[in-house]
Chains A and B, each alone.
Chain A
């Protein structure tokens, strides 16, 4: 089963980040690096990225065959996606266990969502 661990940036997480010391911030970064390496070593990592600031986002839509883009910053949103881990593991319990190791879980919270499968079920 694949699961996506979503890391959000919101007023609470930003407030906590402001409070962290330089040493704590370095620890936080190392924590992500170590977690990623551990996931890769166990064969459970599918993909993982941190996302650039939402002010750098472009919104894309297609209308009547024409591609329209608009640049940020967009209307005030309190919360945005800051990064993710796409993992494949045995069970939801294991996914939660892994999510609890994401450094952000210690300061804020992270979300675990099952990924939809292209496979149908097997009927008997």
Chain B
């Protein structure tokens, strides 16, 4: 192993151990917020010390010991302020453990995605407490100042304390409700990471990889949950296209024009295997359906080979199980591919009545695409331009403008 990769191995190890160490501390002492701060400081200590001095023989025990000491100090400072007495039990240094008896990762995830928190707070807290990332890494990944992330995390912890939420597994009925938020947070993290390869990418934590890692961990804990498997498959099947999705200049390559030879075949094989097995055994859900759609795309050797009939069928199901404006639009594209652009344009006109879609740039983009398919180049160009003006994504704007320009100069 080269010297360069050593810090990466330490980082990976620390991220793996972070939720376990935090679980042990919270179980032992209670007080999620102070324990979380203490673990974060222990991780920072290890991140500087281990690459230089080597990884200790029992890294979990080392982290638990250091974090426990730090927690006692933090707790003392706090109680000194409040003039409270500390019990002897809380003062006693803990015995290092080889491995925690209970796996707390799932309990931690459920706590970090507590319904009293806003999604940005859920995301930040999950990445720090479960993912073991530092505040600085999270800030860089989300392109916001470190102080902003630090504030989101401390506010989230205050809210958890105020809500009286406990570090305990919720009841089965409550758990299924809370799992919806957990999956949403993991998907948010994935989407955030699904970026263009431009910008300060080298310094940025790979959020897609982090989301996939956390979802894998969750699947190990809940192998029977069809939606967890569906989300993991969806992430794998989407991420598999990433190498073909952006040009060297950062410009977007649409699905139809991607060099499918550059897709990650092993990720596709894993995703397809996972979703096939899950659809056959678990109750159906929106993540599984989205994964199935991604699988149909990924299995087509060329764009012309895409099984649009099957994709339309899956979108019909998705529109029943989890309707939404983007499902409506994507379904209309599938309608056009199966029944022709005119059928798609008719449905698009009807869909625009939905206030969530009225004036949305994606409606203009889909209309432009369908008009182009129908051979009406002038109208297609006008709608691509309109969509470009209305989008908030710079890569999408460049893509839409290039589409409009191609329609201006025939033969280019």
Q: Which residues of A contact B (CB under 8 A)?
A: 1, 40-47, 88, 90, 114-124
Do A124 and B144 touch (CB < 8 A)? no
With A46-B148, A122-B194, A123-B255 known as contacts, the answer to whether A116 contacts B155 (CB < 8 A) is no
Q: Give the residue name and chain of the A residue nearest to B118 (CB).
A: A90
CA A44 to CA B147, docked complex, whole Å: 10
With A88-B120, A120-B195 known as contacts, the answer to whether A40 contacts B147 (CB < 8 A) is yes
CA A118 to CA B293, docked complex, whole Å: 26
Number of residues in B with C-beta < 8 Å to the partner?
39
Q: How far is the CB of A16 from chain B (nearest CB, A)?
A: 32
Do B199 and A118 touch (CB < 8 A)? yes
Do B392 and A117 touch (CB < 8 A)? yes
Query: Number of A-B pairs whose CB atoms are under 8 Å?
Result: 74
With A40-B147, A43-B149, A88-B148 known as contacts, the answer to whether A121 contacts B294 (CB < 8 A) is no
Do A120 and B149 touch (CB < 8 A)? no
Which residues on the B side are within 8 Å of A47 (C-beta)? 145
Q: Which of A40, A90, A121 contacts B393 (CB 8 A)?
A: A121
Do B148 and A117 touch (CB < 8 A)? no
A-B contacts besides A88-B148, A121-B393, 14 pairs, CB < 8 Å: A42-B155, A43-B120, A43-B121, A43-B148, A43-B155, A44-B148, A90-B120, A117-B393, A118-B143, A119-B195, A120-B194, A120-B246, A120-B396, A124-B290
B196 adjacent to chain A (CB < 8 Å): yes
B198 adjacent to chain A (CB < 8 Å): yes
CA A43 to CA B119, docked complex, whole Å: 12
Which residues on the A side are within 8 Å of B147 (C-beta)? 40
Q: How far is the CB of B121 from chain A (nearest CB, A)?
A: 7
Q: How far is the CB of A40 from chain B (nearest CB, A)?
A: 6
With A42-B155, A43-B151 known as contacts, the answer to whether A88 contacts B144 (CB < 8 A) is yes
CA A40 to CA B148, docked complex, whole Å: 7
With A90-B118, A90-B119 known as contacts, the answer to whether A120 contacts B393 (CB < 8 A) is yes
Which residues on the B side are within 8 Å of A40 (C-beta)? 147-148, 151
B395 adjacent to chain A (CB < 8 Å): yes
CA A123 to CA B118, docked complex, whole Å: 25
Do A43 and B394 touch (CB < 8 A)? no
Which residues on the A side are within 8 Å of B199 (C-beta)? 118
CA A122 to CA B148, docked complex, whole Å: 26
Q: A1, A46, A120, A121: which has the most chain B beta carbons within 10 Å?
A: A120
CA A46 to CA B148, docked complex, whole Å: 7
Q: Give the residue name and chain of the A residue nearest to B255 (CB).
A: A123
0 or 1 for each of B238-278: is its CB under 8 Å from A? (1 = yes):
10000000100000101100000000000000000000000
Do A118 and B144 touch (CB < 8 A)? no
CA A47 to CA B246, docked complex, whole Å: 31
CA A50 to CA B118, docked complex, whole Å: 29
Do B118 and A120 touch (CB < 8 A)? no
B68 adjacent to chain A (CB < 8 Å): no
Which residues on the A side are within 8 Å of B395 (C-beta)? 118-120
Q: How far is the CB of A42 from chain B (nearest CB, A)?
A: 7
B152 adjacent to chain A (CB < 8 Å): yes
CA A123 to CA B255, docked complex, whole Å: 9
CA A117 to CA B392, docked complex, whole Å: 6
Do A120 and B293 touch (CB < 8 A)? no
Do B397 and A116 touch (CB < 8 A)? yes
Which residues on the A side are within 8 Å of B143 (C-beta)? 118
Do B397 and A118 touch (CB < 8 A)? no
With A118-B198, A120-B195 known as contacts, the answer to whether A45 contacts B396 (CB < 8 A) is no
B330 adjacent to chain A (CB < 8 Å): yes
CA A45 to CA B254, docked complex, whole Å: 35
B191 adjacent to chain A (CB < 8 Å): yes
CA A122 to CA B242, docked complex, whole Å: 11
Q: How far is the CB of A74 from chain B (nearest CB, A)?
A: 29
B376 adjacent to chain A (CB < 8 Å): no
Which residues on the A side are within 8 Å of B394 (C-beta)? 116-118
CA A114 to CA B192, docked complex, whole Å: 18
Q: How far is the CB of B190 from chain A (nearest CB, A)?
A: 9
Which residues on the B side are within 8 Å of A41 (C-beta)? 151, 155
